[in-house]
Amino acid sequence: MMKRDFRKGFILLMLVFITACGTAQNSNAVENKESFQDNVVQTSADSTASPEVPASEKSTGTSDASIPSSNKKLIYTANMDLKVQDYTIAQDKVRTIVTQRGGYILQFSENKSDDNLGGNFVVKVPAKGFAPLMKDISLMKHESMSQSMEGQDVTEQYVDMESRLKVKEIMEQRYLDFLKRAEKTSDLVSFSNELGKIQEEIEQIRGKMKYLDHNIAYSTITIHLSQSGDLLTKESGKVTRSIGERASDALRGTLNGLGEFGKWIIIVLAGALPILGIAGIILWMFWLYRRRKVRLMEQRRALYSKAEEQLEIVNDPLESTSSHEDIT
């Protein structure tokens, strides 16, 4: 009896010991996870509170007053509308100027009609060539011109994205370190998902910064060229014509078309002449054969008819004699 009680007590003691060890390990894992998240959050807060910016910017954040003009991020856009005397020459001139200033044509569209001729250029040019290109375009020969220019300051937006990117990169590195030390599958899955979200946000921030960098480095200018209907009429020398002249032109055009059609028929026949010659010889030989056959048929019919007539002549006396004998 005592042995049984001793065994039961020993087994109960071991169960309590095992349960206590498991609880301690779980609490340690939870504490490690919570401490890691606290470190990440604390690091993010520190990085957000004090990003690496020049000393002149630390006192007032990212306000325009604290950022030197040389460090400002500006995006310039402009619109130019020119009415020119010769659209073709002006278009070639615009292309030449854009190439000389190191730019490129991003988009081009053209509109042609009897009373209007024009085109639109969307040009990207390096920021340092923005003003010189506009000056070169304005010096082109034109009847009238209108232009506008606008600058957008994206410095604050850009600095904010830089700070966010640094914070996200620090969080990414911390999560990578934790994944290396993690042992449980649930922790690996959880932190892998968090790491994926952070890396996606990093790519989005970098894409926006790249877009801003390109628009900051290359300004955008929209150029519209047009040549009015009066200038087109003057250039082409169009004059109002009478109905008789228009009818005469239409008749002349019809006759010219028929003449061209006749020429093509002659050309086709000349090309097909050898084939037509061979076909003609074959048809002629076939016609001779048919003609000979028809003659032979006619001759045979004539002979048959003559033979039938002779037989009738011979049979008539015989029939008369037989009839006379019957009477007698």
Convert the pLDDT of each residue in 55-93 to its tens digit.
333 333 344 444 555 678 999 999 999 999 899 999 999
The two three-digit tokens of residue 43, written as one number: 């690091």
Query: DSSP character for 127?
Result: G
How high is the pLDDT of residue 70? 61
Task: Residue 188: name the closest of 31, 41, 40, 29 by CA.
Answer: 29
> Do the Cβ atoms of 154 and 75 come closer than 8 Å?
yes
How high is the pLDDT of residue 71? 78
User: Is 0.75 surpassed by the pTM of this model?
Assistant: no
Query: DSSP character for 237?
Result: T
| For the chain, domain boundaries | 8-50, 72-172+199-233
Q: What angle do CA 187, 193, 197 make, to 5 degrees?
A: 145
**Per-residue pLDDT at 211 exceeds 70:** yes
> Do the Cβ atoms of 155 and 69 come closer than 8 Å?
no
Q: How many CB atoms lie under 10 A from the CB of residue 88?
A: 12
How high is the pLDDT of residue 68? 54
Q: How far apart are the C-alpha atoms of 57 and 55, rounded to whole Å? A: 5
**In residues, how long is the chain?**
328
In angstroms, the first-to-last Cα distance of the chain is: 173
The model's pLDDT over 89-133, given as tens digits with 9 standing for 90+, comes to 999 999 999 999 999 999 999 988 777 889 999 999 999 999 999
Range among 167-171, 180-184, 284-288 rated most confident: 167-171
